[in-house]
Amino acid sequence: MKILLGLVLFAKNEYIQECFINQMKTGDFKKEYISVVEGFFDDINKKGTINKPISRKQNSIIERCVDDNGDYSVTHYEVLKENKIDNTPISIVKCVLETGRTHQIRVHMSYINHPLLGDDLYGGNTNLIKRQALHSYKMSFIHPVFKQNLSFIASIPKDLNVFM
């Protein structure tokens, strides 16, 4: 079951959509996520970049994987906090997407052996939460018409807040 909470942006026409696509390419459109992942990170890996291409997993219409022949995919991450819940080590991680591939955060976090809690598709523990522990919390972009810098933040939902 896929339940991603947080901010979502819809373009009301093709011109606006094209503006947002261009901003994504230039880095002016930024999306940030809060995730809860399994395990603690080594001190030297508490902040980093995962630059690994992603493609559809062979014989699957849903699952993705890191694949040298896949699409360019970059996720920047930073560990905000570490905790233990029911003797399970967890980390609260901010993820910033440079690209926006399907399942990108889920695939990249699993690839570095820190799957999202609740993400059974990519090896996450489902005992502590029954959905993927991922929240789209911040979105920043330039208004396509008025050229103002805009930023929106969505509060952390209760089921993720218990891990904080």
The 10s digit of each residue's pLDDT in 53-74 is 999 999 999 999 999 999 999 9
Buried b (16+ CB within 10 A) or exposed e, 85-101: eeeeebbbbbbbbbeeb
Q: Which structural domains are found in the chain, ordered by start?
A: 5-161 (3.30.2350.10)
- Please give the Cα distance from 94 to 76 (Å, whole number): 8
pTM of the model: 0.90
Question: How far from each other are the two terminal CA atoms of the chain, in whole angstroms?
Answer: 23
Owner of token pair 């919390």? 137
- pLDDT at position 100, please? 86
- For the segment 105-121, the average pLDDT, to the nearest whole number, is 97
pLDDT at residue 41, as a whole number: 97
Read off the pLDDT of residues 14-52 as tens digits, 9 standing for 90 and up.
999 999 999 988 989 999 999 999 999 999 999 999 999
For the chain, the residue count is 164
pLDDT, residue 39, reads 97
Q: How many CB atoms lie within 10 A of CB 7?
A: 15
Report the C-alpha gap between 137 and 156 in whole angstroms: 7
CA distances (Å), 111 to each of 29, 54, 78, 124, in order? 25, 11, 16, 12
Which tokens in the block code for residue 128? 């502590």
Please count the CA atoms within 13 angstroms of the CA of 158 that sit on its side-chain side: 0
